[in-house]
Structure 1
Amino acid sequence: MGPKLMRALVTRAEPDGQATVQRLAALDIAAVAAPLMSRRTLETSLPPAQGFAALALSSANGLRALADRGVVEQYRALPVFAVGGRTALEARSMGFADVVDAGGTLGDLANRLAHARLQGPVFYPAGKHLSGDLAKSLAPFGVMVVTARLYDMVPVDHLPEAVVSGLQSGDIDAVLLYSRRTAELFVQALEGRLDRTQRSRIAMLCLSEAVAEPAMAAHFNRVSLADYPSEEAMMALALAVTRERNRP
């Protein structure tokens, strides 16, 4: 009998959750998606595209919110500075021709914008709960950022009982966490539902140290970090963990 396949839980919101499940399946890692948040587009007022030098994206959700509002076409002529490869890919898929992949973090995005010699302000379609302040980061460089909070990531009421049971029984071996807020929601959803032994056997695969902190504080002690905050690095981490798990 061959080694038992690792089964992972993907906690990110859709449509990214199912995309990650499919990438894991290509690595022979079974996965189930249980999003801890869902995106809700807000009716925030939008500035006209005229006068902006660039569009900044710290998440593909900013683009999706523009698409929900039916206004992508208005901004399509602007050069795009995307936080990472997946967001850059989504921008290109929506018809943006001039797209820069900043490299993976909000700091990388700010750095690329700071040194881009832009002749005008930057439009930043963002979420209601910002993980960082792009405008504050760029102010010392004389780059003006107009932020429009276009979507909200709304927590789900609870994890499905089948998922909780899988975590309790050991049927789910690993959990992928992509944001600090998701990690906090995961810990809250399982408060009082997992004992010390159950927590100790679950591999927590985290995008960054900040994402890992809530899991470590909740005494999940098998915490691993991606080498870099990207989907590709998370897939490499999942593959490394499943190989270690099946090592004789």
Structure 2
Amino acid sequence: MTAAARGGARRIWVTRALPGAEATAARLIAMGLEPLVDPLLAVRDLSPPVDLTDVAVLAFTSVNGVAAFARLHGDRDRPVFAVGDRTARAALEAGFVDVVSADGDVQALAALIVSQAARLDGAVLHPCALEPAGDLISPLVAGGLSARRLAVYETLDRDPSPSTLAGLDGLEAVLLHSPRAARVLSGWLERLPAPGLRALCLSSAVARPLGTLVQAGRLGCVTSAPHPSETALLDLLTP
């Protein structure tokens, strides 16, 4: 039985990497919930050479991509296409002026960029993770655009703390923002089942690695947000 079921504090495990986890935690506190910040992923910047000679626009699929590129290069003049509002806001805060949000997922971002192909005089550069969660480049190339990736950071698996693992039955839910975090969690739940825990996922793609854990009794339930935004994800916590 979870703490919430017993009438205790509604504790929510935040698994996304820092510093994004802190922003999520602040939103949970504003909702009257108690966040447990213990990321399952860590982010490390890379230092690739950056050549923007033929680049017309930048495409970002994550806040981490924006932050890593902004630390790597001073250019803020090129237009930016962002996967969603949170990433678009990060780009504006980093100093980019011309920013458009696809307000969706990678497929929505690709469709938005392709729809603007006629006015793009040059290539699309996608600063991203060393192992990106989604393929932005293929649909852009299929749409007749020149596009390439630039790995500006890498994501590393991170072990949760022993106290988190020991207290799984006291958590109401775990928030998962990426398929990789879900894969890490799945590995731990194979060893330490948490049949009372709810897994709340940013999208169906994020939920997929959790597979048969519910049927196996190792996880309480898995729910995907109806829209791939953190607001939609956190709305799943509303009674």
Query: Counterparts of 1:57 and 1:212 in 2: how far apart (Å)?
Result: 22
**Residues of 1 paired with 2:88 and 2:150: CA distance?**
19
Q: Following the alignment from structure 1 to structure 2, what is the Cα–Cα distance between the partners of residues 232 and 31?
A: 16
Contact 2:67 2:94 in 1 (8 A): no
Is the counterpart of residue 206 in structure 1 residue 206 in structure 2?
no
Once the two structures are superposed, what CA deviation does each residue of 1:83-133 show, in whole Å capped at 9, x if it has no partner?
000000010011111100111200010001001121211111111112222
| Structure 1 partner of 2:38 | 34
Deviations 1:27-63 (A, max 9, x none): 111111111111111122211x333211100111112
Q: Which stretches in structure 1 are left out of the alignment for 5+ residues?
A: 244-248
SS in 1 for 2:227: coil
2:13–2:173 CA contact under 8 A, matched in 1: yes
Q: Is the 8 A contact 1:128 1:151 kept in 2?
A: yes
Is 1:216–1:223's contact at 8 Å kept on the other side of the alignment?
no
Bigger strand share: 2
Instruction: Please report the TM-score for the alignment, with normalisation by the length of structure 2.
Output: 0.90
TM-score calculated relative to the size of structure 1:
0.87
Aligned counterparts, 1:36-185, within 5 A: 36-47=40-51, 49-69=52-72, 71=73, 73-74=74-75, 76-116=76-116, 117=118, 118-156=120-158, 158-167=159-168, 170-185=169-184
1:238 aligned counterpart, secondary structure: coil
Match of 2:126, as an amino acid?
A: Y
Q: Which residue of 2 aligns with 1:246?
A: none
For residues 141 and 232 of structure 2, the distance between their equivalents in structure 1, rounded to whole angstroms, comes to 31
**Aligned partners of 2:142 and 2:230: how far apart in 1?**
31
| Structure 2: runs of 5+ lacking an equivalent | 1-5
Distance 1:102 1:224 in 2: 23
Give me the identity figure in percent: 35
The letter for the 2-side match of 1:225 is: S
User: How far is the alpha carbon of 1:218 from its aligned partner?
Assistant: 2.2
Number of residue equivalences: 228
More helix by share: 1
RMSD: 1.5
- Counterpart CA distance in 1 for 2:197 and 2:7 is 18
Query: Deviation of residue 22 (structure 1)?
Result: 0.7
Cα deviation per residue 1:199-223 (whole Å; 9 max; x = unaligned)?
Answer: 2x11110111121122232232411
**Secondary structure of 1:133's match?**
coil
Contact 1:104 1:229 in 2 (8 A): yes
CA distances 1:170-207 after superposition (whole Å, capped 9, x unpaired): 2111100111110000111333222xxx32x1111011
State the 4+ residue runs in structure 1 displaced beyond 4 angstroms. none
Structure-1 separation of matches of 2:148 and 2:207: 31
Q: Secondary structure at the match of 1:222?
A: strand
